[in-house]
Structure 1
């Protein structure tokens, strides 16, 4: 560092050198997300061809040598010479920033690629990139080393990135590698990511690739996307993985896949087209840029469906490219959705008993699953990662499509649609009332001091400490277990809350039914953090919530019902790892010791563990008291036994409830506890052979 600062300190990075110097500007990061973003850029080029009606299949292959290959059946990258640069189309696309066929030249009506940097950025960040193009009965090929065109000396072996490389000096050559079948066109891109750029732990994420491929197949009906992972071919447990996706139902099928709860409405399609004008610089024949007012067409395709749950799943896209952070299209959708439903509720306020209260956006979005896709030429995004749409005119066009589509649904005279609209209005009003009720009672749901403790349920046996990080709430089954647990607990930090048998199945019940259920409402009040969207993990009164039910089928059922309540209405408890299941012992074995030595008590937690213990005792010629005690319920234990095995921190075993994949967990809860009987029956029939008949309490 010097005090001097003049023009000779300035650097001008030319071409792809800028990409290699600052990769984060183009791909977000140099870790796994950036590596995946490079792959999306190549795949999206192939998808743009399919959207334009060229090609119906894309293959993505993760090879064992660390490379990845993308194959499509599109028109193929142009191989003729681009007149301004004197380079072939292949070299222009892969080496020149801001060059391509997506700047309004007529090659694509709407495309995900916009800035002409996708393929060239991937090339710049690759140790080696090979491209093959099938056009006009020939296969053309070209190779690059960190963005520079040239020739690799692979000999007669497989292509590899560390092969000897000779760059072109006087002129580049697009070589003819072979013949292509008549009428066959397409592009194949294979590249090795440059480990000088990416971190050592950066890797292609197969699960993310599967999610993206499935999503794209939903958005482009009729397009088949085949994924093949050969990286673990030598691992017998993994081997070669291959997945294929092809859907014909479009956005409606996508919504049905995303939705996990029982339906309140069918999947509604809202479609329309709008026009707008904008002033953009247009390239003139002499190479200059002239600001020109052009008319654009924006196509809007939306699929919406409300379910009985309260979670919102919204996926928005622009020209098939996901916009996870929304933008003007999502703003127009949500604002108009709220406006139209608010107006419809006001129109039916007397029947709905809505009073003068106003719907808010969260009330409308509760239980909504929606997919929104807009298609328009040259959309304005915020940055190359294309996560936010910025084109202002799209907001009004989407709002108009939503307005006209919902008004048609609300005015429908078809009996089925009228019933669905009525149920939808009931649901959003119920959400509004639940929100207002939660707000009114929020203060009573916080930890109370001694003078206010009477507002909590009378059957709660609270602890003395107010240090939330050290407190535990045991949910116990029945009064008999409560009596034993009361003597076994440490009253300083352990609280007890008894429930009467099996609580309400909240997967099937509505929010109002749940709130009116005494057991559910009392449990929410005891935990003290609210429910649903108003749940605030920071105000929870206990650091651990422990389900302590009997070790039998009924106990397992009660745990499932409690977990359903936590999953649907207090999910952050599970996400933060604060829900546990106690593990009480199944057997108590008293080993007889000879002489005056006291007998030894051993607890076992499964039949297998008991059999192992007994076999060990036989080998050592030790005897035990008969009959061996088998605990059917917690009430059969003495307080000392319950404390020693299940409640005391010194010797107990807890099973933490985790939720690594919220969507998968949601589908499991819906199958086990939802309204649809057929999937549950299939699950039971499929698993019947694995069931141990001896484990059934009957």
Structure 2
């Protein structure tokens, strides 16, 4: 191997070459996530104009040819010559990295874009990009091919496959039309480069609609229209909200309210030393006075899940940062002080609240606006500006102090309910910890602390073992004879377990069936769940094929989703599929009869029609299994438990938020949405009623 390594071996990537060589640095990935990031780089430029007070309408068009177009009616990209480069403002924005109007405080007081690479990165990663700007009574246009300006010779509709001629001596910003005086705006249409993005990467319509809805909540009065022209039936969705983040919180909250939506606003100043570009082209460190504005909407509900969204200049920060840390610090500091003041009424003792106690059941949206925020990377998922933490914390403490000191009857009642809720959470946490410590002591002192009703398997190979959770003792007896005792363990449950979506942690741990399931799996529960410690590779819910069996299965899935979610996310939870019917098809002579199992009424009718067509008879009446206990061991083994013949349904969570909403709808405290869901269902078919 050569040891020669000198300066001539170094590669220097100029301009947009670097983006095409290392796209992940700028858009995170080259799959669907990166494709969506490009869309939002262009949309966010239009949103920044709206934040600055220019333009209240944004149109996003997903064309049938997989191109994307973003239209706004804001000021339009500058078309005059930028003196340092000698290029038009349009070409600078789309071809030069770290160029734009968001570095200083002249054009935008607070914006989402701040690195000056968004539009140029999208251009570099596009097979074709067209931009049109309405300014000065004229429509100006320019086209790019993989970042290079030039002209496409379009025959009819624009396409990236049209012949392309790059500019040679100088670029041309073409005049392609005229507009009325005072009409301004920008239209950007681009075709993502399939040389860059992975095969199968596509625009996620639901994600686009969700983000558009979110942006409309964050910028009250801004209208965002999404036109999807793909498919046979084009669709249009429009989002506009006047209520801002208060309305956003109401949209996010899925449980019944304990408090109204409280709005807290504040601001704070700080100084920051940043390099400032001087007229002579030098960067000089300068101390600047900054202002950070805080806007917070929050409400507590009867549930136990936390929904928290944070934003910086309308840019989502899903991984938090200093603003989220400040919010949690201020909230915990204030509520700890309030609980200490009311310790006697609340019977709180000397125990202290923790973060999880105050966040339980909380739905909150936090937005901060500040000039030139410091993010970690171009994807802007974490805010790093240190001074924001104290400003947000102080604003939260001040706002809650005013609310709790309010003489209004509603404010007093709701403040008292919040204290009751967080103290109840604290007591539940302490109770759960005591229960866990008790179990640990038992494990240390006893040879086995597993429930006596567990029928364990012999194998110690976790990956090859299965735990069947069986409905009732009658099914357990049959399952004992039908199982493979080397690999299959059985745990019977009696009746319907607790609905843990409505119950507290303490109630869940106090329920014998829930506690025994958690104990048998052996990996803990909640935030302390350790998947590596699970005693079984698969957990299979085996309930009767009737309405009660389906309800028991739903209750068990609720327990796993809320307290042992990693088991579900890893695909280790299954539902057994027992048959509904057993058809004995008669054979002539001494030949044994054929046994056919069916799993639905439709399948049964199909089998019977097939036998009739073949001229074969069958035993009547057909056996209909009402429960697992009606099968003998051979039948149960063959249809439901034997690895060679059985069918299992794997329980998966593709979208945790969507799954959470479904569990809250079906199993939560709020009855009205559940009733609407049932009424709006498929209707009642008398033929489907099991009589």
Q: TM-score range by the shorter chain?
A: over 0.9
Does structure 1 conserve the Cα–Cα contact (< 8 Å) formed by 2:429 and 2:506?
Answer: no
Counterpart of 1:214 in structure 2 is 213
Deviates more, 1:36-45 or 1:239-248: 239-248
Counterpart of 1:610 in structure 2 is 604
Structure 1: distance between partners of 2:168 and 2:431? 75
Matched, 1:51 2:25: no
Deviates more, 1:369-378 or 1:528-537: 528-537
Name structure 1 gaps, 5 residues minimum: none
Counterpart of 1:387 in structure 2 is 381
Counterpart of 2:464 in structure 1 is 470
Q: CA deviation at 1:441?
A: 4.5
Structure 2: distance between partners of 1:590 and 1:135? 81
Matched, 1:693 2:686: yes
Q: Structure 1 residues 25, 450: CA separation in 2 closer, same or farther (over 3 Å shift)?
A: closer
Counterpart of 1:543 in structure 2 is 537
Name structure 2 gaps, 5 residues minimum: none
Does structure 1 conserve the Cα–Cα contact (< 8 Å) formed by 2:19 and 2:124?
Answer: yes
Does structure 2 conserve the Cα–Cα contact (< 8 Å) formed by 1:217 and 1:224?
Answer: yes
Q: CA deviation at 1:113?
A: 1.1
1:633-689 deviations in whole A, cap 9, x for unaligned? 222222332222222223222222222122222222222222222222222222252
Does structure 2 conserve the Cα–Cα contact (< 8 Å) formed by 1:99 and 1:116?
Answer: yes
Structure 1: distance between partners of 2:115 and 2:121? 11
Matched, 1:227 2:221: no
1:220-270 deviations in whole A, cap 9, x for unaligned? 12212222233x43xx5xx43433322222212222323333434333222
SS in 1 for 2:358: helix
TM (norm. structure 1) is 0.92
Structure 1: distance between partners of 2:121 and 2:626? 65
Does structure 2 conserve the Cα–Cα contact (< 8 Å) formed by 1:585 and 1:645?
Answer: yes
Deviates more, 1:384-393 or 1:456-465: 456-465
Instruction: Give the root-mean-square deviation of aligned CA atoms.
Output: 2.7
Matched, 1:432 2:431: no
Counterpart of 2:505 in structure 1 is 511
Q: CA deviation at 1:5?
A: 5.1
Does structure 1 conserve the Cα–Cα contact (< 8 Å) formed by 2:431 and 2:506?
Answer: no
Deviates more, 1:458-467 or 1:377-386: 458-467
Match of 1:366 among 335, 345, 360: 360
Map 1:97-176 → 2, pairs under 5 A: 97-154=97-154, 156-176=155-175
Does structure 2 conserve the Cα–Cα contact (< 8 Å) formed by 1:447 and 1:528?
Answer: no
Task: Report the number of matched residues.
Answer: 691
Does structure 2 conserve the Cα–Cα contact (< 8 Å) formed by 1:446 and 1:528?
Answer: no
Does structure 2 conserve the Cα–Cα contact (< 8 Å) formed by 1:302 and 1:370?
Answer: yes
Match of 1:639 among 610, 621, 633: 633
Match of 1:244 among 219, 238, 242: 238
Q: Structure 1 residues 451, 632: CA separation in 2 closer, same or farther (over 3 Å shift)?
A: farther
Q: CA deviation at 1:83?
A: 3.2
Structure 2: distance between partners of 1:3 and 1:527? 55
Q: CA deviation at 1:472?
A: 2.2
Counterpart of 2:278 in structure 1 is 284
Counterpart of 1:93 in structure 2 is 93
Does structure 1 conserve the Cα–Cα contact (< 8 Å) formed by 2:255 and 2:670?
Answer: no
SS in 2 for 1:210: helix
1:2-53 deviations in whole A, cap 9, x for unaligned? 6555555555444333333433332233443333322221111001011112
Counterpart of 1:314 in structure 2 is 308
1:46-97 deviations in whole A, cap 9, x for unaligned? 0101111211121122223332211111111112233333332222222222
Structure 1: distance between partners of 2:501 and 2:27? 41
Counterpart of 2:41 in structure 1 is 41
Counterpart of 2:18 in structure 1 is 18
Structure 2: distance between partners of 1:393 and 1:119? 29
SS in 2 for 1:302: strand
Counterpart of 2:339 in structure 1 is 345
Matched, 1:295 2:289: yes
